[in-house]
Amino acid sequence: MRIIGGKYRGKTLAPFKGEDIRPTSDRARESLFNILGQRVVGARVLDLFCGSGSLGLECLSRGADQAVFNDISKDSLEVLNKNLAALKGGESYKVVKGDYCDLLKSERGKFDIIFLDPPYRFDFCPVAAKLISDRALLSDDGVIVIERDRPFTDEIAGLERYDERKYGVAYLTFLRKKL
């Protein structure tokens, strides 16, 4: 797996073992970042269920100002830290090991892009999106990107679904503040 764009384009990411990390496919990631476009430049990003960190790392490569990575898995964070150590451009990032609810309840400031990509067997996205909305963690023109193995149909107060795409078994759903 590699970073597909930006200053680290082509950089190979650290390998991982087991089924705890399910990376977003290259095709889905490339399409996702084509959709996000210039929104990434200067963004504050939250990669909530980061796994290997590929989504947050892609943002840093493409000019995001800061990325916050969170995962509860020690193994995932070991892979993430190997990937972060390979970057030598002075990127601003924070790594947190903990439950996603704890991070969302304690985090300060707003995010421009929030990735919710938990293991498919867990349905954490509705709870996470509600916490994000309730705590006003999304910037006014920010976006939440949800990756799941089925469409995201939950209604979250203060948020609206404005796009959804399917790539293989993955659905990418885009949420924003209600207009």
Amino acid letter, residue 88: K
- 60/153 Cα distance (integer angstroms): 30
pLDDT in tens, 91-125: 899 999 999 999 999 999 999 999 999 988 888 99
pLDDT score at 20: 54
Q: Are 3 and 61 within 8 A, CB to CB?
A: yes
Residue 21: predicted pLDDT: 58
Task: Residue 48: name the closest of 109, 108, 102 by CA.
Answer: 102
Please report the domains of the chain, with CATH numbers, ordered by start residue.
Answer: 6-177 (3.40.50.150)
Burial class (CB within 10 angstroms; exposed 0-12, middle 13-18, buried 19+) of 57: buried
Predicted pLDDT at 19:
58
Angle at CA 70, nearest 5°, toward 114 and 66?
55
What tens digit of pLDDT does each residue of 119-173 get? 888 889 999 999 999 999 999 999 999 999 999 999 999 999 999 999 988 999 9
Q: What does the pLDDT look like over 77-91, one tens digit per residue?
A: 999 999 999 887 788
Q: What pLDDT sits at residue 15?
A: 79
Instruction: Output the pLDDT for position 119.
Output: 87
- Of 163, 50, 157, which is closest to residue 96 (Cα–Cα)? 50
pLDDT for position 171: 95
Alpha-carbon separation of residue 169 from 24, 42, 44, 124 (angstroms): 10, 31, 28, 18
Name all contacts of 152-161 with Cβ < 8 Å and 24+ positions apart: 152/125, 154/125, 154/126, 154/129, 156/126, 156/129, 156/130, 157/130, 157/133, 158/133, 158/134, 159/129, 159/132, 159/133
Q: What is the average per-residue pLDDT within 71-80?
A: 93
Tokens of 128: 């996470």
Report the predicted TM-score, pTM, of the whole model to 2 decimal places. Answer: 0.95
Question: What pLDDT shows up at residue 48?
Answer: 97
**pLDDT confidence of residue 26:** 74
Going 38 to 124 to 71 to 30, the CA torsion angle's sign is negative
105 CB contacts (<8 Å, ≥6 apart)? 131, 135
Instruction: Give the pLDDT score at 17.
Output: 72
